[in-house]
């Protein structure tokens, strides 16, 4: 039977250990793409992914491999992101698989996300095929890493594949191990249809395209389907697989990973994690679906042009289809007008959403500084959640502010433990414990405010440890905290979108840093602009932006037409990302200035 020849697997790894490159080699070796069509990081189809060299979205492809036993196998390979912000994408793709290739860099060894992702895979009972990659590097230590996989993760690594995605060594052996070690799917073909939606994307012509793993039954064009949670019903127009281009199929059956279209125009109907079944012969219960994701970071997104408000809403709705972790709701700001408060899983996620809105939907946006959600107890006993600093209640009405905390696990070589502890301490962390993983590697565990982790912690951690530290964290409740709201006044007017929350001990210092930074990023105008920072009515820092003098405004004289054009272009782009706030033009940079802590 065809089912016995199917292997569904995913590739998990810490970022940069070589997942995407291994996927490229597999596509080449199985001749899924011709040499002519081959380009690096083929599965990273978004421009953004290629430019940044990271995988953001999971991607599923079908390929065919003729093994040494002479049989041809059908592989469904699902590439997944490695960054901590996107681990929800990883868990979704794992639910569609029976096995996972675990890639570990032979020169770096096991890192925090290696552990986090492999645990996700083990939770789903997946069969793991360990691969030690980059053995071509002079600094590779494959035997050390093999031992590490056994000691730190607890997997049998005696048969771990030694590979180089760069030179192609070990790729064939890896495919053989996939055939022999990863089980075929075993769903009942005659049972009522059950298919798990793990991704979706909106296409102007075909409507919503669902990516799904068929768990039981068979589905084909013409079938009447029901989405079990939303109750919506549709007639299937097309089913198929990506290889990596879409290829139509007559049907998809239990064990298959593919796509389905049904002229679905109403994006509200389709949610990742929902189960597709037949309308006439429905399954009794939907599949378990996915753990709901909760955004950790919130920021305001505003169109630079107020007339684009509805376009922005439409763009967010479409993007949400393809990004189940994105949340948004309308908000208004006195300074910025109508926009949306959006929830993200982390800063990278926020960055990616903003860039996708700009590129894929042509939006020009102003984003406000991200904030976590504070849980505020009022003197009258009421509890309110505040994820927009400007909406922090009056000080006199607050009994207690609770801020979200995380358990942060930092994996680092011995030598850098001191540096890591220093940094955590400065970020208001409380030391919990330290665990030796092997002779030279340590897990340092801290209790830390989420707000300190999400901004620049990771960059600081990397630079303080020559890149050796890796980080993983999980939410761990809230703690009461002595926090204050700091308002910024431009030319005497409070700019709500610039308000931020800080710990009282750091308030003065941060306020001072920020007014100075604002002075640098807000362009001079023909009048003097005072910038003030205040807690309530009390001014705690101030400075002035001087008015410009006539000669500064004189036209740019530059002979080189190329340079002149560039200058003009730069000015134009700068202008677009500018908002008039009262009498002052405020550029995008200003809204982010409150983030930088030094």
Token output for 524: 């001079």
Question: What number of other Cβ atoms are within 10 A of residue 521's Cβ?
Answer: 15
CB of 202 to Mg ion, least distance (A): 24
SS3 state of residue 340: strand
Q: Which is nearer to ligand GDP, 83 or 356 (CB)?
A: 83
Q: Answer yes or no: is 557 a known binding residue.
A: no
- Binding part of the chain for ligand GDP, among 133-141, 237-245, 507-515, 527-535 by CB under 6 A, reads 133-141
Q: Shortest approach of ligand GDP to residue 494 CB, angstroms?
A: 44
Distance, CA of 469 to CA of 413 (rounded, Å): 7
Dump strand ranges (E) for 18-92. 59-66, 72-79
Which listed option, Mg ion, ligand GDP, none, makes contact with residue 150 (CB within 5 to 8 Å by class)?
none
Nearer to ligand GDP, 91 or 373 (CB): 91
Establish if 136 lies at the interface with ligand GDP (CB under 6 A).
yes
Distance in Å, CB of 137 to ligand GDP, minimum: 5
CB of 181 to ligand GDP, least distance (A): 21
**Peptide bond preceding 244 in cis form (omega within 30 of 0):** yes
Nearest-approach distance from CB 154 to ligand GDP, in angstroms: 22
> Any binding-site annotation on 526?
no
> Is 21 marked as a binding-site residue?
yes
Q: Is 489 exposed, middle or buried (0-12, 13-18, 19+ CB in 10 A)?
A: middle
Tell the smallest beta-carbon distance from residue 23 to Mg ion (Å).
8
Q: From the list 53, 330, 536, 582, which residue makes contact with ligand GDP (rule: CB under 6 A)?
A: 53
The residue written with tokens 């060299």 in the block is 53
Q: Find which of Mg ion, ligand GDP, none residue 16 binds, CB within 5 to 8 Å per kind.
A: ligand GDP
Question: In this chain, which of 7, 8, 10, 20 binds Mg ion, going by CB under 5 A?
Answer: 20
Q: Between 43 and 497, whose beta carbon lies closer to Mg ion? A: 43
76 is in an annotated binding site: no
For 390, residues 6+ apart whose C-beta sits below 8 A from its C-beta are: 333, 485, 496, 497, 499
Residues comprising the chain, all counted? 598
- Does residue 467 bind ligand GDP (CB under 6 A)? no
Minimum Å gap between C-beta 171 and Mg ion is 16
Q: Which does 587 bind (CB under 5 to 8 A by kind): Mg ion, ligand GDP, none?
A: none
**Cα(353)–Cα(371) distance, integer angstroms:** 16
Residue 420 is a binding residue for ligand GDP (CB under 6 A): no
Residue 134 annotated in ligand binding: yes
From the centroid of its chain, how far is CA 253? 31
- CA nearest neighbour of 486 among 473, 503, 474: 503
The minimum distance between CB 17 and ligand GDP, in angstroms, equals: 5
18 marked as part of a ligand binding site: yes
Among 6, 12, 15, 325, binds ligand GDP (CB under 6 A): 15
57 annotated to bind ligand: no
The footprint of ligand GDP on residues 54-73 (CB under 6 A) is 55
3-state secondary structure string across 449-497: EHHHHHCCHHHHHHHHCCCCCEEEEEEEEEEECCEEEEEEEECCEECHH
Residues 6+ apart with CB under 8 A from 393: 376, 378, 384, 386
Binder to Mg ion among 8, 55, 242, 499 (CB under 5 A)? 55
Tell whether residue 232 is a contact of ligand GDP (CB under 6 A). Answer: no
Residue 115 CB contacts under 8 Å (≥ 6 apart), including other chains: 152, 153, 411, 472
Q: How far apart are CA 214 and CA 218, in angstroms?
A: 8
- For the bound state, the minimum distance from the C-beta of residue 86 to ligand GDP, rounded and expressed in Å, comes to 11
Distance CA 196, CA 344 (A): 24
Q: How many residues bind ligand GDP (CB under 6 A)?
A: 18
* 19-38 footprint of ligand GDP as x/- string (CB under 6 A): xxx-----------------
Sign of CA dihedral 500, 504, 350, 291: negative
Q: How far is the CB of 509 from Mg ion (least distance, A)?
A: 39
H or E element, residue 199: strand 194-203
- Pairing between β-strand 327-333 and β-strand 246-249 as defined by DSSP bridges: unpaired
Find the part of the chain contacting ligand GDP (CB under 6 A) among 8-16, 272-280, 469-477, 579-587. Answer: 8-16
**Smaller CB separation from ligand GDP, 42 or 253:** 42
Give the C-alpha separation, 531 to 442, whole Å: 46
3-state secondary structure of 215: strand
Report residue 202: phi and psi, to 5°.
-95, 130
**Interacting stretch for Mg ion, rule CB under 5 A, among 16-24, 422-430, 464-472, 547-555?**
16-24
Shorter beta-carbon distance to ligand GDP: residue 134 or 441:
134
Q: Give the DSSP per-residue string, 281-329.
A: S--SS-----PPP---EEEEEEESSGGGHHHHHHHHHHHHHH-TT-EEE
**Tokens 């970020």 sit on residue:** 427
Minimum CB–partner distance for residue 53 and Mg ion (Å):
7
Q: Can residue 87 be called a binding residue for ligand GDP (CB under 6 A)? A: no
Q: Is 13 in the site for ligand GDP (CB under 6 A)?
A: yes
Cα atoms in the Cβ-side hemisphere of radius 13 Å centred on 208: 26
The reply to whether 59 sits near Mg ion by the rule CB under 5 A is no
Segment lying near ligand GDP (by CB under 6 A), choices 30-38, 85-93, 132-140, 383-391: 132-140
* Cβ proximity to ligand GDP, 20 vs 390, nearer residue: 20
Contact between 48 and ligand GDP by CB under 6 A: the answer reads: no
The residue range among 18-26, 251-259, 264-272, 500-508 that interacts with Mg ion, by the rule CB under 5 A, is 18-26
String of contacts with ligand GDP for each residue 163-202, x by CB under 6 A = -xxx------------------------------------
Closest CA to 360 of 368, 352, 349: 352
Per-residue b/e over 471-488, b at no fewer than 16 CB within 10 Å?
A: bbbeeeebeebebbbbbb
Residues forming the site for Mg ion (CB under 5 A): 19-20, 55
Residues forming the site for ligand GDP (CB under 6 A): 13, 15-21, 53, 55, 82, 133-134, 136-137, 164-166
Would you list which residues are annotated within the binding site for GTP?
A: 16-21, 133-136
């Amino acid at each position: 039977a065809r089912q016995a020849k199917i292997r569904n697997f995913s590739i998990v790894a810490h970022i940069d250990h070589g997942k995407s490159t291994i996927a490229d080699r597999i596509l080449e070796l199985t001749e899924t793409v011709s040499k002519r069509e081959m380009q690096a990081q083929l599965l990273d189809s978004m421009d953004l992914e290629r430019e940044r060299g990271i995988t953001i979205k999971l991607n599923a492809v079908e390929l065919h491999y003729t093994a040494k036993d002479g049989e041809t196998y059908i592989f469904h390979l699902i590439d997944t992101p490695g960054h901590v912000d996107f681990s929800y994408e990883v868990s979704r793709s794992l639910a569609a698989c029976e096995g996972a290739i675990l890639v570990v860099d032979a020169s770096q060894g096991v890192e925090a996300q290696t552990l986090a992702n492999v645990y996700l895979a083990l939770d789903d009972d997946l069969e793991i095929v360990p691969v030690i990659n980059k053995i071509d590097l002079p600094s590779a230590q494959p035997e050390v890493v093999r031992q590490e996989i056994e000691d730190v993760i607890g997997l049998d690594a005696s048969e771990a594949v030694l590979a180089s995605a760069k030179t192609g060594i070990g790729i064939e052996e890896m495919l053989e191990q996939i055939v022999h070690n990863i089980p075929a799917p075993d769903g009942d073909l005659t049972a009522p249809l059950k298919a798990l939606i793990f991704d979706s994307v909106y296409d102007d012509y075909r409507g919503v395209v669902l990516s799904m793993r068929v768990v039981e039954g068979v589905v084909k064009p013409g079938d009447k389907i029901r989405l079990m949670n939303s109750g919506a019903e549709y007639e299937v127009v097309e089913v198929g697989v990506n290889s990596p281009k879409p290829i139509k199929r007559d049907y998809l059956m239990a064990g298959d990973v593919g796509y389905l279209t049904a002229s679905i125009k109403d994006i509200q109907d389709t949610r990742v994690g929902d189960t597709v079944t037949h309308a006439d012969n429905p399954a009794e219960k939907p599949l378990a679906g996915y753990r709901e994701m909760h955004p950790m970071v919130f920021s305001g997104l505003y169109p630079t042009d107020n007339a684009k408000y509805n376009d922005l809403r439409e763009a967010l709705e479409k993007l949400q289809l393809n990004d189940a972790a994105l949340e948004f709701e309308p908000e208004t700001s006195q300074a910025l007008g109508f926009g949306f408060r959006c929830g993200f899983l982390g800063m990278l996620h926020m960055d990616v959403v903003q860039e996708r809105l700009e590129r894929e939907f042509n939006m020009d946006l102003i984003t406000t500084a991200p904030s976590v959600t504070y849980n505020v107890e009022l003197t009258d006993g009421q509890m309110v959640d505040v994820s927009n600093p400007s909406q922090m209640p009056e000080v006199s009405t607050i009994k207690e502010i609770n801020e979200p905390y995380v358990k942060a696990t930092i994996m680092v070589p011995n030598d850098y433990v001191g540096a890591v502890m220093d940094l955590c301490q400065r970020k208001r962390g409380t030391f919990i414990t330290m665990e030796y993983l092997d002779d030279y590697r340590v897990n340092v565990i801290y209790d830390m405010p989420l707000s300190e982790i999400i901004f620049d912690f990771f960059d600081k951690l990397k630079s303080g440890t020559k890149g050796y530290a890796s980080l993983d964290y999980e939410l761990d409740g809230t703690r009461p905290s002595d926090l204050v709201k700091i308002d910024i006044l431009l030319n005497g007017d409070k700019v709500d979108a610039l308000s931020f929350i800080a710990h009282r001990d750091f308030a003065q210092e941060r306020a001072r840093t920020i007014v100075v930074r604002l002075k640098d990023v807000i362009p001079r105008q023909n009048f003097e602009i005072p910038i003030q920072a205040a807690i309530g009515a009390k001014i705690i820092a101030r400075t002035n932006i001087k008015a410009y003098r006539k000669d500064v405004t004189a036209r740019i004289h530059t002979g080189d037409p190329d340079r002149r054009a560039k200058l003009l272009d730069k000015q134009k782009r700068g202008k677009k990302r500018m908002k008039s706030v009262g009498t002052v033009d405020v550029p995008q940079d200003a809204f982010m200035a409150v983030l930088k802590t030094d």
